[in-house]
Structure 1
Amino acid sequence: MLLENRVALITAGAGVGIGHAVAARFLEEGATVVITDAHAKRTEETAAELGEQFKCEVLGIPVDVTQRDQIEGAVARTHEKYGRIDILFNNAGINKLEPIWQLKDETWDLVMNVCLRGTFWAIRSVVPHMMEQGKGAIVNMASAAGWLASSGGEAAYSAAKAGVMGLTRAASGELAGKGIRVNAIAPTVIYNPFLERIYPKQMFEASKKRNPMGRLGEPREVANLALFLASDLSSYITGEVISISGGSVVVP
């Protein structure tokens, strides 16, 4: 199994989307998994569900990634319990659609804090442990929105995800010589029932029509890429931002 005897910490790993799919995929490959989420009940329920499904312990820790002490506490608790942290999957993110001329400071700050600052805090907290081990893999969730212009009020989100891309490259350069790889995944629209509460239905249909493959991506497809980047299959890959878009990034 690709992740046997490895400990993976996943932010925003509860719910029904990419984080949950990544947690399940890592468990399938033998990892010990710790999930965090801002919703305490959902974190507890998801950890119990995954633990029952895979017949193992899954630790769930409620964490608001906009609170540095909570991130640092989750990292410390994970290391204290398992003695190591081999993989960090930074999945926490948020998007609020506001045209740039109506974009409120509080919206900008929230999106930046969740998507970028929280990612930075998690990396900074986990790296000392990985340095002690002499090895580690960090996978950040960026977005095609960090590359592509949007007409849908995503200025804050696009800026934050572009920042994640820059942070990924900067961190990879600093950490490559310490045995720590840092990469990012940049998806376009990945289907998630939760997103239907944020985006209008016609947006999903339009995305399908524009996509060269004629469909949206699935969370498990992103999880497969995360597994590749977290495992030794990608042992000579660092500093990369990999698009998963069904071709829509190269064929707009």
Structure 2
Amino acid sequence: MDMGRLDGKRALVTAAGQGIGRASVLAMAAEGAQVFATDINEAALAGLGDGIEAFVLDVRDPDSVAQGMARARPDVLFNCAGFVHHGSVLEAQDEEWDFALDLNVRSMFRTMRAALPGMLERGGGSIINMSSACSSVIGAPNRFIYGTTKAAVIGMTKSVAVDFITRGIRCNCICPGTVESPSWHDRVKSLGEQVGSYEEALRQFVSRQPMGRVAKAEEIAALVVYLASDESAFTTGQPFVIDGGWSG
């Protein structure tokens, strides 16, 4: 019988109810991992299938994070929770700034701090953080708050990687371009209300992708599997840009 690429590994995924998180849960489970799918929305976790343990975890609540890590005892942590705010620095509101820093950055600080002691005790682990091509990699119009927080994720990833490089811990981040997901469709609809039609908004989103399309969540999930697996054992501290040539 063929061995799965993630046999024997325990993986916890945040924001697993839809999009990249959900696709990654299914991809890692298919490769043999024992997957713990978490989300703040319990209903979104329905239907993931046998062998996947799903439970509510609020990445903005330190107690919820601590309980989730104690339950999952992950060898692999995929931090996928985040939110995209629209607008330039002139439109940014203090409450939006505070929310984005908490959800997009501080939540990963919470989960990594909670997961690392167990990983160190067990002799190793792989942490995968969701950043974006819109970060320190490339600027995107009207993404001031989002791009700032995702640049912070890259810096945080590199810091964790260098601090624990000799202790069996790897920490990398993924920097996608535009990815098809329910939340992306919501952003297209919102832009469509501003520019006059959903079709025009869709054209604008797709036009910035040199390949002429947006990514599928499953394409990002394939990279998650690689970074979770021992195939990437010599890789740490890296932002993996997977953006269809947008930043190229």
Q: What's the TM-score once normalised by structure 1's chain length?
A: 0.89
Matches within 5 A, 1:95-106: 95-106=84-95
Q: For 2:63 and 2:201, locate their aligned partners in 1 and report how far apart those are by CA, in whole Å.
A: 37
Q: For 2:233 and 2:31, locate their aligned partners in 1 and report how far apart those are by CA, in whole Å.
A: 17
CA contact (8 A) 2:11 2:72 kept: no
Q: Tell me the alpha carbon deviations over residues 86-123 of structure 1, each in whole angstroms, 9 at most, x when there is no partner.
A: 10000000112133212111100111111100011111
> For 1:144, what is the secondary structure of its paired residue?
coil
**2:194 corresponds to which residue?**
none
**1:196 corresponds to which residue?**
185
Q: For 1:155 and 1:64, locate their aligned partners in 2 and report how far apart those are by CA, in whole Å.
A: 25
> For 2:72, what is the secondary structure of its paired residue?
helix
The count of residues paired between Structure 1 and Structure 2 equals: 235
Segments ≥4 residues shifted beyond 4 Å: none
Deviation at 1:212, TM superposition (A): 2.2
One-letter identity of the residue aligned with 2:169: I
Q: For 2:72 and 2:36, locate their aligned partners in 1 and report how far apart those are by CA, in whole Å.
A: 7
Structure 1 residues not aligned, in runs of 5+: 80-84
Deviation at 1:216, TM superposition (A): 0.7
Q: For 1:90 and 1:76, locate their aligned partners in 2 and report how far apart those are by CA, in whole Å.
A: 16
Bigger proportion of residues as helix: 1
**1:4 corresponds to which residue?**
7
Q: For 2:21 and 2:70, locate their aligned partners in 1 and report how far apart those are by CA, in whole Å.
A: 21
Task: Give me the identity figure in percent.
Answer: 32
Q: For 1:244 and 1:90, locate their aligned partners in 2 and report how far apart those are by CA, in whole Å.
A: 17
Q: For 1:209 and 1:156, locate their aligned partners in 2 and report how far apart those are by CA, in whole Å.
A: 22
Which of 67, 83, 86 aligns to 1:94? It is: 83
Deviation at 1:34, TM superposition (A): 0.4
One-letter identity of the residue aligned with 2:55: I
**2:43 corresponds to which residue?**
41
Deviation at 1:208, TM superposition (A): 2.3
> For 1:161, what is the secondary structure of its paired residue?
helix
Deviation at 1:151, TM superposition (A): 2.1
Q: Tell me the alpha carbon deviations over residues 115-166 of structure 1, each in whole angstroms, 9 at most, x when there is no partner.
A: 10001111110000110111110110000111222222x2111111000000
**1:24 corresponds to which residue?**
26
Q: Tell me the alpha carbon deviations over residues 183-232 of structure 1, each in whole angstroms, 9 at most, x when there is no partner.
A: 00000101113322123243432232332211111100000011111101
Which of 51, 63, 66 aligns to 1:69? It is: 63
**2:150 corresponds to which residue?**
161
One-letter identity of the residue aligned with 2:56: P
Q: For 1:138 and 1:204, locate their aligned partners in 2 and report how far apart those are by CA, in whole Å.
A: 33
Q: For 1:224 and 1:108, locate their aligned partners in 2 and report how far apart those are by CA, in whole Å.
A: 31
**1:82 corresponds to which residue?**
none
One-letter identity of the residue aligned with 1:244: I
Which of 232, 237, 248 aligns to 1:234? It is: 232
> For 2:113, what is the secondary structure of its paired residue?
helix
Q: What's the TM-score once normalised by structure 2's chain length?
A: 0.91
